[in-house]
Chain A
Amino acid sequence: MFTQFFYTLKAYKVPVSLTEWLAMLQAMEKGFAGNNLLSFYYLARSLLVKSENFYDQYDLAFREFFTGLEVPEELFDELLKWLSEETLKRHRDSVDLSSLPQHDWETLKKMFEDKLKEQKERHNGGANWIGTGGTSPYGHSGVHPGGIRVGGESNNLSAVKIATARKFRQYRKDVTLDVRQMKVAMKKLRHLRRSGNLLELDIDESIDQTCRNAGEIELVYHPERKNDVKMLLLMDAGGSMLPYAQMVNRLFSAANSVNHFKKFRYYYFHNCIYDHLNAGMEYGERVSTAQLLKNLNSSYKVVIVGDASMAPYELFMENGIIDYYDRNETAGIVWLERIANHFRNVVWLNPNPPRYWQHPTVSAIANLFPMYQLSLEGLESAMVELTRKAH
């Protein structure tokens, strides 16, 4: 009967599978949801949503599906008189929710108005009239799963209140991006190889050697597996990147503290990469880009972070460099091409969302490197791209 809820969840991009849905129906059949919407809220969440990243979408879907619909103002006061008093005794145990008729909003509203015309007195309990308790779809504190709520601090509807509070907003995957999440994403980058000290017992080899030794036990050890990935991080420290400084910083500290890279090098540039790269964020010590390409072999995984938007001459012209006292004999785009050709895996992370990527320099750069947004999802896809074997 809640099948529509399944699709509402899907519509809010909560990844629900059919198995999980069936498990939830099974649980409801066993009566685990009680007869109360709050229990149902928790039950469905624990069985259908498997990451706090989707709690917020779940809340939104729940709110849409279960919110008590509004009642016209003039009817309200009248109704409240009937509904306000009375200790509420719900006939929960005797109610089978699934047997109750379901109505869409239009029909429900019509029926509600008709009922209101017919009804001449207060009514509590029962399955027909507007009142408290009971299973009619109107009134409050009742247990009809999709009805009109009229005032009241209903227990059942507090679930919708909880959903409406959207406490889990900050857990949404597309919103937050902290160091830890970046690390998790970067952990996808790994290529294990045996190296270092002999620490693990090599059972196959031990048995083999022992047999060759006519039963005299011979233990053979081999090194542990370690990550073999080398990483080069190039970051734009230009003026237009200032708003994203914190995010780039986080990316840097994530990459720096994921201590599982075999080697990690990082440099800064302003707007575009030219003959030199800076070792720090400010001007100062710098290295020659050509030298760097010579020193680093093509197996380095390269991540370039920048908004890629600049004046076209900065990218396409010689001496287009933005720094007044500096000159570049080779156009920026040529340097970028060299980088793209030298390394097997390069990605470009852009802090701007894709809707801004129509800009001429951005699209020129996106032609050279696979470009992703600097968001958790973008970072994850970028890491997948980096682990791809070059053909």
Chain B
Amino acid sequence: MQAFEYANPTTVSEAVKALAVTGGSAAVLAGGTDLLSLMKDGVETPKRVVNLKSIKELQGISYTAGKGLRLGALATLDELMQNAKVKQEYLSLVQAAEGVRSPQIHSVGTVGGDLCQRPRCWYYRGGRGLLAMKDGKSMVMEGDNRYHAIFRSSNGPAFFVNPSSFAPALIALGAKVKVTGAKGSREIPVAEFFRIPATEGERENVLAHDEIVTEILVPPAAQVRNATYEVRQKEALDWPLAAAAVALQMDGKNVKSARIVLGHVAPVPWPVPDAEKLLPGKAVTASLAEQVGEAAVKGAMPLSRNSYKIRLARVAVKRAILRAAGMEV
């Protein structure tokens, strides 16, 4: 690990100042489950590390009737999984946290860190850049892409998958992320927090270099049936091969409106609006869930080694819908 400065602010404004002067050469430290390995492997070499864990205002989980859930950026996965209100209304978040099969990460990993962690693409982690280009060609396209994206945008050669466990569920639930920087605070829908970098050096989210995530705001979900389903090969710690989060507003037995977001299949969490349209006005059945799953993967463009992920994404959608509806998966 290369030598670095260490800043330990106790307020958000101090943290923002500590970041602002670095011109983008600083890294933000929360739980550290991602940053430390990136630094040890020399993939990230920040000149300054800004620790957020001493900032009290970033901690805690609270619920306000009518407004919904506030997750402090430093809320740990454990805190989230044990929160009574979350367990009652936001099952999709609990299920996403349970998918991280590591007591250690549950203890120290944070909700903000989950959103801001870097992709697990093995070319990126091998020091070959987020887009992994070599001689004008994508190493991912030519190489081993079994865990890479099956959806792409016109926005250049990004094939990594977004690694967040919570983002699909948060987007399905209509959550916003609050960020604070030198210019003040802003609230961004989680769906707009992520972006697909077009060139090497661009980040995969919209945070300016002096901005940090301070909290996540999730609307009330008492009337929303929500669920996450991840396809993971192992019971032990293992990244999902595909995941889906579903939020269903119900009107009696029928679905009133639906939000479905896929995870681990594209460089950003991947909403599937065309598939969502099949649900309103209908009662959830196994065959309807199957149809929605099929619609969700329309337009997938697999790489040389990952067409199996299309099927897994389809199944994840089907099972997330059934799980949300309280049916056996």
Do A and B belong to a common assembly?
no
